[in-house]
Structure 1
Amino acid sequence: MTVPQFFDPAPGGGGSNLGRAYYYSHAVRVGNLIQTAGQGGYSDPDGTTFPEALEDEIAQCFQNIEAVLNAAGSSWRDVIGIRAFHGGPEGFTAEADEIVGTLLRKWVPDHRPTWTGIGVQLAGRMRIEIEVVAVVPDEA
């Protein structure tokens, strides 16, 4: 039986204190499968500081996901699916979709992961939260 392993990003990164504050793990790995918790575009450990520009917030979100994946022994190259939760006053926008698509091409250039976008009400100033599923390839 494979035992789940739980991970948090390195201290000091975007949202790194949130798991301890709210009692959750940022990622779980079971064998080669990794599921992350939703990551926002916050740039501080407490998850309270967001970039003004939507593009910068989404880019920071991708960086925060990379930090969580790295902690679990993975990276964006292993991502097979994403769920993007869109909120804020603008809600689900074509601009946000375009930014996510552009960043996916940058971070996952070798394949197209599945992608579901969902309009929701997010906490505070958050305009997007993304969770991913990754599969780490077997060692050759």
Structure 2
Amino acid sequence: MTQRNAIFPANRHALYEAHGYSAAVRSGDLLFVSGQVGSRQDGSPEPDFALQVALAFQNLEAVLTAAGASFDDVIDVTTFHTDPDTQFGAIMPVKDKYFSAAPHPTWTAVGVNWLAGFDFEIKVIARLPEAA
């Protein structure tokens, strides 16, 4: 059985501890990152949607960094949206900032009706660099 190697970013444990899950798990050269939301340090949702999306990407970046990876190492993205029709205008500029160069990772966007008080969530799978 492969041992789970949990990864946590510094100063981001409120939601992980409250709900009992890891920010990411390394398995071999793959990193499986839990869904990241636009939460503040205390775990509460950022009420402004554009800022919530920006925070979700910043929180994702913190997890990737803690694992020795970056957005360049991301190979698969899944995002969850409470109102995709109206939200993509705010999401795409943030997405383009972090995934600016081709080839882009695969991407699946899923419309949902509940995200525990949040309106956007992003989870990824990354291949870790050999040095990690």
User: TM-score w.r.t. structure 1 length?
Assistant: 0.81
Distance 1:79 1:100 in 2: 18
State the 1:106 CA deviation. Answer: 1.5
What 5-or-longer segments of structure 1 have no aligned partner? none
> What letter is aligned with 2:75?
I
> What letter is aligned with 1:122?
L
Tell me if 1:122 matches 2:118. no
> What letter is aligned with 1:9?
P
Distance 1:17 1:119 in 2: 26
> What letter is aligned with 2:32?
Q
State the 1:104 CA deviation. Answer: 2.6
Moved more, 111-120 or 1-10: 1-10
State the 1:7 CA deviation. Answer: 1.0
**Number of aligned residue pairs:** 129
State the 1:56 CA deviation. Answer: 1.4
RMSD: 1.8
Q: 1:42 aligns with which of 39, 48, 64?
A: 39
- 2:17 aligns with 20
Provide, for residues 99-137 of structure 1, a one-character-per-residue CA deviation record: whole Å limited to 9, x for no partner: 33322321122331111111112112x110110111123
State the 1:2 CA deviation. Answer: 5.6
Q: 2:93 aligns with which of 77, 97, 102?
A: 102
**For residues 37 and 122 of structure 1, do their structure 2 counterparts lie closer, same or farther at Cα, with a shift above 3 Å needed?**
same
- 2:5 aligns with 5
- 2:61 aligns with 66
Distance 1:100 1:130 in 2: 11
Moved more, 78-87 or 96-105: 96-105
Query: Does the Cα contact within 8 Å between 1:79 and 1:108 map onto a contact in 2?
Result: no
Distance 1:8 1:72 in 2: 8
Query: Does the Cα contact within 8 Å between 1:28 and 1:72 map onto a contact in 2?
Result: no
What 5-or-longer segments of structure 2 have no aligned partner? none
Aligned to 1:38, the other structure's residue is in SS state strand
Query: Does the Cα contact within 8 Å between 1:42 and 1:61 map onto a contact in 2?
Result: yes
Distance 2:40 2:18 in 1: 17
